[in-house]
Amino acid sequence: MEMIRNETVAEVALTTLSHNDEKPVYNATTIPITPGTMLSTLPSREPVDIEFKELAYTVSEGFRKDRKEILHDIFGKFPGSQLIAIMGPSGAGKSTLLDVLSGFKTTGVEGNVLVNGRRRDLTAFRRMSCYITQDDRLQPLLTVLENMRIAANLKLGENVSYEDKETRIEDILIGLGLYEHDRTLARDLSGGQKKRLSIALEMISNPTIMFLDEPTTGLDSHSCTKVVELLKELASQGRTVICTIHQPSAKLFQEFNQVYVLASGNCVYQGGTNNLVPFLDSVGLPCREYHNPADYIIELACEEYGKDALNSLIKASSNGSNTDWFEDPTKVLKGETLLRAFPKPIRSRTQTLEDSSFGYQLYYLLKRGVIKTKRDTTLTHLRIGVNIFLAIMLGFLYVDAGNEGSRVLDNYNLLFAILMHHSMTTMMLTVLTFPTEMSILLKEHFNRWYSLKAYYSSVTVLDIPISVLCCLIFSVLIYLLSTQPMEWMRFGMFFAISLLVVFVGQSIGLIIGGWCNVVNGTFLAPILTIPMMMFAGFGVTLRDLPNYLKWGSHISYLRYGLEGYVGAIYGEHRSTLACEMAPYCHYRYPQKFLAEITMRGDQFWKDVIALSVTVLVLRVGAYIVLKAKINSVK
């Protein structure tokens, strides 16, 4: 259903959801959903004013290039209990200003950001605020209710009772018009519903300050209006709601209490929406009758009326320090007055990241991961299917290759094919899917849902069962169909090497997928694998490698994987092979084959240790990359 209209009166129950996930039902209690009651069960907020002075932001234009200034010493004041729009043409610096004010970007920032007249404490500020990105970074395989419950458990912590969490969830879903869609998967929601769900997830912690990047992008006019009306209602309850918007319609423009217009990193207007037209008249740039003021100010910002007109606006607004055009300038707190009104820094009253233990966060991240794994057709169902298909195909292609002396080279080729399958499929699957998960991680971690350690631990633990299952299915099928030696010890060695190579491949995929986008990762992963193949000892034996390249064989995980396979199948003093398909079998004696490829059959544990160390190093490296990626966006 659409967002409940202000005049609607709904009969709703505040009875909590039962533990067996049954949908709550309404009882006889009637609660009118009017402007004063929407989300009224959430704790009340004290309004928070944000002010910034001489705010500048610079970025590097590339290696050994000059730095470019995006924001040019701008000023501004955003009073509490207001819905504020940051407007401007593309490239004006809207999203940059939002990132800086929210604390999403901290590197390259100069100037002061004040909260209630005091210098902002970024840690405390992030506890009381939330950032909702332009793209709806939701868990698509979870229902609305599942998304809300996970968010409630992670954001509110373990000290808030189950009943209180369920009451808050129900109140938010009803208030945002998502109650009837609580069983719908997030991927099946409409654009407006996804946007409201993004807001609902952050409303769990009842933030005092909300930042939204282009909340109306991609929505039809009706959905845009409903989203903005919702934001205005949230602001009226004491929250400071700041959002960027490109070019709103005249009707949508009037919904905002205040507008802040940027042009090329400078402020051209700051004040009430109703005062924009008088402001333009005062600078000799009157807006034509029946012309949308929002469109006109954007045209001026784009220099369609000349550079002089734009400079006049910047001068008239004093680059944002002029507060004469607010709806009520007397309510714009200034300097000492503001400090007297708020003698102490505002602190968040909601549960924070520090209120949840590592184990608690890990539990709910694992719980979310299990649900996703069951429903994921790519990472789970398709992955299992591909392993079964390839095992059967390769098995029938190399029937009896493992036990026949005349097919030793064929079996050697099969072992290398298995090695590449385990390495590349897991690596590429992670490279292709993890960037999407990375975007969700950036949002949720910034909004203090969980620590990076808890998230990374959950990713590591969750992949173990599916990796073991897929590897076991493939190993059993290929081992039997290709008639490898039927000894439990040898199969165990074969499976152990396979599993370690799978973990290595996935770890490399995490590193690449965590840092690169899908396009770059898809190119980079195979390129980095080629040197590992060269030094594996397959095309060129280890004996024939030039002295100046022998070091490569010691860092190639494929070398240890192939050597481990060879040791499992032909090492450990394997007896003479049968020779039934040819009159002469040159490699009938396994020791002769091992000598030919310059591999020993007694290096299995050395290979296991080498692969285990590689997994450990790559896992630590993947964590460092994820942490660096998070820090890099700042």
24 is a domain residue: no
101 backbone φψ class: left, alpha, beta (φ>0; ψ -120 to 50): alpha
Give a yes or no: residue 32 inside a domain: no
Confidence of residue 41 (pLDDT cuts 50, 70, 90): low
16 inside domain: no
Looking at the structure, do residues 218 and 259 belong to the same domain, yes or no? Answer: yes
Mark whether 458 and 578 lie in a shared domain: yes
Q: CA-CA distance, 507 to 619, in Å (whole number)?
A: 6
Looking at per-residue confidence, does 25 or 555 come out higher? 555
439 C-beta neighbours (distance < 10 Å), count:
14
State which of 329, 352, 370 marks the end of a domain: 329
The reported pLDDT for the residue numbered 552 is 81
Report how many domains make up the chain: 2
CA of residue 66 relative to chain centroid, distance: 31
Same domain, 319 and 385: no
In a domain, 345, yes or no: no
Nearest-angstrom CA–CA distance, 595 and 535: 18
391 and 315 in a common domain: no
Dist CA 145 CA 88 (whole Å): 36
Specify whether 263 is located in the same domain as 412: no
Task: Give the Cβ contact number of residue 117 at 10 Å.
Answer: 19
| Partner residues linked to 55 by β-bridges | 74
Q: Domain for residue 229, yes or no?
A: yes
The per-residue pLDDT for range 473-508, each reduced to its tens digit, is 999 999 999 999 999 999 999 999 999 999 999 999
Which of 312, 329, 346 is the C-terminal boundary of a domain?
329
- Tell me whether residue 280 is in a domain: yes
Beta-ladder partners of 209: 129, 240
Whether 285 is covered by a domain: the verdict is yes
Prediction pTM value: 0.82
Please give the Cα distance from 125 to 543 (Å, whole number): 62
The two structure tokens encoding residue 457: 């631990």
Specify whether 215 is located in the same domain as 75: yes
246 pLDDT above the threshold of 70: yes
Backbone phi and psi for residue 256, each to the nearest 5 degrees, phi listed first: -85, 140
DSSP single-letter state for residue 634? -
Separation CA 498–CA 471 (nearest Å): 7
Question: What is the CATH classification number for the domain harbouring 278?
Answer: 3.40.50.300
Q: Is a pLDDT exceeding 80 seen at residue 28?
A: no
**In terms of domains, do 215 and 312 share one?**
yes
Per-residue pLDDT tens over the stretch 336-390: 444 444 444 444 444 445 558 899 999 999 999 999 999 988 778 889 999 999 9
Which of 286, 313, 329 finishes a domain? Answer: 329
Q: How many residues does the chain have?
A: 634
Nearest Cα residue to 296 out of 273, 319, 315, 317: 273
523 and 384 share one domain: yes
CA distance 552 to 539: 14
Amino acid code (one letter) for 151: A
* Domain coverage including residue 163: 50-329
All residues at 6 or more sequence positions from 354 whose CB lies less than 8 Å from its CB, including other chains = none
Tell me: do 261 and 397 sit in the same domain: no
Query: Residues 268, 272, 276, 281: is their CA dihedral positive or negative?
Result: negative
Helix (H) or strand (E) holding 485: none
- Condensed to tens digits (0 to 9), the pLDDT of residues 137-159 reads 899 999 999 999 999 999 998 88
Does residue 303 share a domain with residue 394?
no
**Do residues 252 and 216 make contact, with C-beta atoms less than 8 angstroms apart?**
yes
Q: What is the per-residue pLDDT for 297?
A: 93
Q: Give domain status of residue 160, yes or no.
A: yes
Q: Do 248 and 391 share a domain, yes or no?
A: no
**Do residues 612 and 509 both lie within one domain?**
yes
